[in-house]
């Protein structure tokens, strides 16, 4: 399904160059570093490098295993980014930090901004948020006003927290490799059980054996590096989350119809008769694949909803009618206090809960499918459960479905037809996703 935008009426026109000059990101740490401890904390600014590439470079120059280097999140390659990394200080006993980075800066656009100490390694998620600077070009005065107005909407009412296109690689299909990798993991698990039971393959590397049992194309594409394999699994989780989020936004949009149209819209999506359906000509050209069932998950979600009695559907419809937010709360949603806090199950949707959501006191969450996942219940589970059918072979967690921008500022330079934006987003939210919501189209 094409991406569903939070506000269909927003359509500002501009040019965004995804480049280090026009896209600047700075981390906001989750906590203040203590100034003492066994881990050296490095604040680093980089350009034209991914976090994985940065870690590889540091590992090589400092002679430290890549797995010992900690970071709170992955930063964009096509941007100027500042982030904090931790390295056990034992690796600097025989090396001067400044001289190390002087050598690195001769070959790479990497600069050490500051250094301190802390008592623990920085881990994924140890991040409060990010501060962004973005320069938009080819902005007319009319569109500058649209962007300024849209920025206020993002701050006051929020937007759908889709994973950005960066999550899915240059071709946008990393999730497919994640799916293949999950199948390899399943094969390995099966082989391990057989090996244990039968006493076979004792000297074999089960992972390599599993890969050899897959198609040649899959064998060559799946990396052996653990972090890259984990990234592919998370890409599959991200894809499923985005697909689910489209379903929820679409349902919210259906709630604006009359009740009869609401029922008909659900039926049409269930039967895949809507605008995003592939033409018969397209379908005939495509070969069937193990991935085909991923395209049916959204239909299954609406089929689950359509199976309810007419009275139940009317209750859902009336509930959506009472809500002003594009994302409609449902009974059984797993929510979390915002911008961080505890998870809780939404046992019922009343005016108090609706007002709290609109005020940004809490937000609903979507599943990143995996082990030990806290699943939605009630009506919400009907729309979530199809996306849990895919075994991602990873740890499960939940992600805010809705987020708010903060500290938004804008400046329009009419003579250059450029607009500069400054804003902050919570950990895990993508600035490019917010830009897409403002533009009303994918970038």
Catalytic residues: 76
Beta bridge partner(s), residue 70: 86
- Cβ proximity of 192 and 154 under 8 Å: no
For 94, list phi and psi in degrees, rounded to 5.
Answer: -105, 10
Q: Cα 225 vs. chain centroid, distance in angstroms?
A: 21
Beta-carbon-side half-sphere exposure of residue 339 (alpha carbons within 13 Å): 17
Quickly list H helices, 292-418: 297-306, 310-321, 351-358, 378-384
The answer for residues whose C-beta is within 8 angstroms of residue 265's C-beta and 6 or more apart is 254, 257
The interaxial angle of helices 226-254 and 297-306, nearest 10 deg, is 40
Q: How many CA atoms lie within 13 A of 403 on its CB side?
A: 24
**Spatial distance between the Cα atoms of 8 and 435, rounded to a whole number of angstroms:** 14
Spell out the residues 6+ positions from residue 378 whose beta carbon is closer than 8 angstroms to its own: 330, 331, 332
Q: Is residue 79 within 8 Å of 24, Cβ to Cβ? A: yes
CA–CA separation, 224 and 278 (whole Å): 35
CA angle (248 as vertex; 243, 249 as ends), nearest 5: 95
Strands 127-137 and 15-16: antiparallel
The residues with which 25 forms a beta bridge, in sequence order, are: 81, 132
Per DSSP (E only), the strands in 108-176 are: 110-118, 127-137, 159-160
- Return d(Cα 438, Cα 443) in angstroms, integer: 11
**Distance between CA atoms of 132 and 443, rounded to whole angstroms?**
17
Neighbouring C-alpha atoms within 13 Å toward the C-beta of 29: 15
Among residues 262, 265, 295, the alpha carbon closest in space to that of 277 is found at: 295
């Amino acid at each position: 399904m094409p991406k569903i935008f939070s506000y269909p009426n927003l359509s500002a026109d501009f040019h965004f160059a995804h480049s280090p000059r026009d896209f600047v990101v700075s981390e906001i740490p989750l906590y203040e570093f203590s100034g003492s401890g066994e881990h050296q904390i490095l604040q680093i600014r980089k350009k034209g490098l991914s976090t994985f590439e940065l870690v590889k470079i540091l590992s090589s120059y400092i002679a430290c295993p890549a797995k010992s280097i900690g970071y709170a999140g992955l930063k964009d390659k096509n941007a100027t980014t500042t982030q904090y990394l931790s390295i056990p200080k034992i690796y600097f006993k025989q090396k001067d930090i400044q001289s190390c980075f002087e050598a690195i800066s001769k070959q790479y656009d990497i600069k050490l901004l500051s250094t301190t100490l802390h008592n623990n390694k920085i881990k994924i998620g140890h991040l409060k948020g990010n501060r962004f600077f973005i320069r938009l070009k080819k902005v007319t005065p009319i569109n500058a006003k649209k962007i300024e107005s849209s920025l206020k909407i993002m701050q006051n009412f929020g937007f759908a927290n889709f994973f950005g296109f960066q999550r899915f690689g240059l071709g946008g299909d990393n999730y497919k490799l994640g799916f293949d990798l999950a199948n390899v993991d399943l094969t390995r698990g099966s082989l391990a059980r057989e090996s244990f039971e039968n006493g076979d393959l004792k000297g074999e590397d089960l992972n390599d054996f599993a890969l050899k049992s897959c198609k040649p194309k899959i064998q060559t594409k799946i990396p052996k590096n653990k972090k890259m394999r984990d990234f592919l699994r998370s890409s599959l989780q991200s894809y499923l989350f985005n697909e689910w989020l489209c379903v929820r936004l679409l349902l919210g949009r259906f709630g604006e119809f009359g009740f009869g149209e609401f029922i008909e819209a659900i039926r049409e999506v269930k039967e895949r008769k809507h605008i995003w359906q592939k033409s018969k000509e397209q379908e005939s050209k495509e070969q069937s694949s193990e991935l085909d069932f991923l395209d049916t998950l959204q239909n299954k979600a609406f089929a689950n909803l359509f199976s309810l009695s007419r009275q139940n559907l009317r209750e859902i419809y009336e509930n959506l009618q009472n809500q002003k937010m594009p994302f409609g709360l449902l009974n059984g949603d797993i929510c979390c206090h915002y911008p961080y806090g505890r998870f809780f199950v939404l046992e019922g949707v009343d005016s108090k809960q609706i007002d709290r959501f609109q005020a940004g006191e809490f937000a609903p969450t979507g599943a990143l499918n995996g082990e030990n996942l806290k699943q939605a219940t009630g009506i919400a589970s009907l729309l979530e459960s199809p996306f849990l059918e895919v075994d991602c072979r990873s740890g499960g967690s939940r992600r805010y479905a809705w987020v708010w921008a903060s500290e938004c500022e804008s400046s329009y330079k009419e003579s250059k037809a450029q607009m500069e934006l400054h804003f902050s987003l919570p950990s895990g939210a993508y600035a490019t996703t917010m830009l897409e919501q403002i533009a009303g189209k994918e970038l």
